[in-house]
Structure formats: C-alpha cells, structure tokens
Amino acid sequence: MKIRSFDVYIVDLPTIRPHQLAMHTIVSQSIVVGRVTDEEGREGWSEVATIGGASYGESTPEAIKANIDTYIAPLVIGKDPVHFDKIMYEVSQEVRGNNFAKTVVETAIIDLAARSKGVAAFELFGGQIHTSLPIAWTLASGDTAKDIEEAKEFLHQKRHKIFKLKIGKGDPFKNVEHVRKIKQAVGDEARITVDVNQAWDEDTANYCIAALEDGGVSMVEQPLPTWNYEGMARLTARFKVPIMADEAANSIQDVFQISKHRAGNCIALKPCKAGGLTQTKKVAGIAEAAGIGLYGGTMIESSLGTAICAQLYATIPEMKFGTEIFGPLLFQDDLTLEPIKFENFEVIIPNGPGFGVEIDREKVKHYARSL
C-alpha cells in the first residue's frame, strides 16, 4: 500500500452569524481540505481551518495549499501511509515551519492508514480514553441581555454549560462589565471564560483580570501578545484565575518554554499549531509533566476537522478545562454526510473507521474555490 496522490482544496463555509475575534470577524470560514489516495484507490481526508487570511497567523489558506502542492506532497508520494510518523519526520527535515500545511498532510495520511486497518484513528494513538468531552460555546452577540438569554436557553437544552466571550475588541473595561453581568446572571450553573486574543497590554491586563477574577470568571485566554512570555508569567503568578496560552503555544518548543517559565498555567491544544496529531500528543505530554492544564481548542472547523480533534483529544487522560470544538454548530452547512453529535453538555467522539465521518464530495465541490 503506497500513496499515489495528494490533492488540496480551499473551501469557504458560511456561518450562521458573525463570529468576532480581536483581529477578525468570521462570516465565512476558509478551510483547507486534503485528500490522499493510495494505489488501491482508498482515500484519506483531512481539514485545517484558518481565520481571517493573514490576520490570525502566517498560514493563509492560499499559502497552505501552495506549499503542500509544491514542497510537501512530492515528499509523501510512494510512501506507506501506515508509517505516518516516519513520513512526517522526513518531511520535517525538508520543510521548515508550515505547521498548518503539515497537519493537512499528516491527518489525511492517518485517516487513510486507519481506514486501511478498519479501525478508528484514535487506535493509532493509544486508544480511546473518553467517549465524550465537555463542550464550550462562544457568546458573541455583544448584547448583554441577548447573551444571557442564549446562555440560559443552552443550559435548558443541556447543550453547553461552559461559555466563552471574546473580549479583545472594543473598550476592555466595558467588555469586563459585560462579562461580569453574564456571570452574575448564570451563577453557578455555568462556567464563564474569556478570550482576549492578545489584545491587551500588561497594565490593562492587570486591571481587567482582577475585575474578572472578582466576578467569578474561570479562565482568561491569551491576554498578552505572543512574544510577551515574561508578562504572561507575571500574570500567572499574580492571579488565582488560570491564564491560558493559546497563540503563544505554537510548537512543542513553545510549550516547553511556557512550561519552564510558567508563562500560563493552561494551554489550548490545536493540532494545526503543533504540526499534526503526533506533535500535539507531545505537547500534551510536556504540559502534563509540568502540571499545566489542557484545553481542547478549535480553529472553528467543520465536522471533518472537529472529528479529527475530538478523536485525538479522546486519547488524552485529562482535559482539565474541557473543549471548544463547537465549529459544526456555527456553520450553515457541512462537509460530511453525518453530523457530529452534541448531547448532555458534551461532544460525542466519532468512532467509525478513520476519523469516524464520511466526506460529502458534492459539498466539497460546491464550496471549493476551484477543483
């Protein structure tokens, strides 16, 4: 069994409502989809989502596709997909960085390898520990009354009891009051977290985190720019509320430095940041050794990308802060034939062959920029 071809598509999926971050507001999500085919005609599929072109990071969808087509795909043709770790090690010797692109390639190969053996992909990573995981939702209307109403409705539906608010855009002090009012309204029924997306300086963070901590917020994500490890360490030491590193945790080396200098006491896992599932498991191991809590992060993936994340997160012993892989709930449509299931405040881990979902080729064709 050898790899015969690797194809890459850029897909744009519309959302049900705007999803606002500090650097970009998502109304249509750009997703890179990979398809690997072996000599027997079997396929493996993968997905990496991107945010706002180059506003979130350097890996734009156009660059991901170009670098796979030109530099990475030729390195994997003719290789046995079962040896995916060896393949990606060899790729890393020839291609620097490009973690998003490497994730597209590795996950498609893993899907193919697992399907060839008739097993779920999590069986290739030590097996499934969790059958479901807690799932957060982002409240994003910007209207306090509407956000409270939405939170209470989702609590009633048993869909979510962890709610995140993106507060990196606009007046930070007004945003803090908005969060405090929501926490007061839901009380102990739900956990409230915030994501600053690097938007604050250290003075603003010191004031605002004190107010958020006093208001009962349970986590503050990436309050400072990625380069400010020392500032993140000072905030972590000063406050009781956990400080999460997300955009700063972009590789196993980054996570080692965060752990060493305590520049955060929890980390958001995202396979695309680390360069694939194998590297993400290494990140989790470093964090576990350092006593740093883990959170199953998202780049707002469709069901395919969500299944990939869910299966990997299901192999990690403790996801102390739950997960945020709600992407399928935000889209008007999807790229798979079956939906990801959300029940009793949790996401259910798909357990079929490969990543447990089947691609809808007609939907890929419909939403792809070109085929």
Are residues 128 and 111 part of one domain?
no
Q: What is the predicted pLDDT for the residue at 51? A: 76
Kindly state whether residues 14 and 53 are assigned to the same domain. yes
Q: Are residues 159 and 98 in the same domain?
A: no
Indicate whether 212 belongs to any domain. Answer: yes
154 in any annotated domain: yes
| Pair (165, 222) in one structural domain | yes
Q: What is the pLDDT along the chain (371 residues), one digit of tens a residue?
A: 899 999 999 999 999 877 766 566 777 889 999 999 999 999 999 999 987 666 666 789 999 999 999 999 999 999 999 999 999 999 999 999 999 999 999 999 999 999 999 999 999 999 999 999 999 999 988 899 999 999 999 999 999 999 999 999 999 999 999 999 999 999 999 999 999 999 999 999 999 999 999 999 999 999 999 999 999 999 999 999 999 999 999 899 999 999 999 999 999 999 999 999 999 999 999 999 999 999 999 999 999 999 999 999 999 999 999 999 999 999 999 999 999 999 999 999 999 999 999 999 999 999 999 75
Q: Is the domain of 253 the same as that of 301? A: yes
Task: Give the C-alpha separation, 181 to 339, whole Å.
Answer: 34
Q: Are 114 and 217 within one domain? A: no
List 164, 166, 183, 270, catalytic entry = 166
In a domain, 353, yes or no: no
Give the CATH number of the domain where residue 82 resides: 3.30.390.10
CATH number at residue 155: 3.20.20.120
DSSP state string for 302-369: -HHHHHHHHHHHTTSS--TT-B---GGGGBSS-SBSSPPPEETTEEEPP-SSBTS--B-HHHHHHHBS
Residue 101: left if φ>0, alpha if ψ -120 to 50, beta else—which one? Answer: alpha
Residue 52 has a pLDDT of 63
**Is residue 84 a part of any domain in this protein?**
yes
Q: Which domain holds residue 162?
A: 124-348
What is the dihedral angle through the alpha carbons of 273, 307, 299, 319, rounded to the nearest 10 degrees? -70
pLDDT at residue number 25: 74
DSSP of 242-267:
-EEESTT--SHHHHHHHHHHTS-SEE
Do 102 and 129 lie in a common domain? no
Same domain for 237 and 270: yes
Q: What is the pLDDT of residue 173?
A: 96
Burial class (CB in 10 A: 0-12, 13-18, 19+), 366: exposed
- What pLDDT, on the 0 to 100 scale, is given for residue 94? 96
Q: Are residues 144 and 262 in the same domain?
A: yes
Quick check: is 142 in a domain? yes
The reply to whether 301 falls in a domain is: yes
Same domain, 23 and 89: yes
User: Looking at the domain assignment, is residue 302 inside a domain?
Assistant: yes
Do 166 and 247 lie in one domain? The reply is: yes
User: What pLDDT shows up at residue 22?
Assistant: 57
pLDDT of amino acid 26: 72
My answer on whether 141 and 234 are in the same domain is yes
Contact 126/315 with Cβ under 8 angstroms? yes
Question: How close are the terminal C-alpha atoms of the chain, in Å?
Answer: 26
Specify if 163 maps to a domain. yes
Our answer to whether residue 166 is catalytic in this structure is yes
Which helix (H) or strand (E) segment holds residue 133: the answer is strand 132-134
How many domains does the chain contain in total? 2
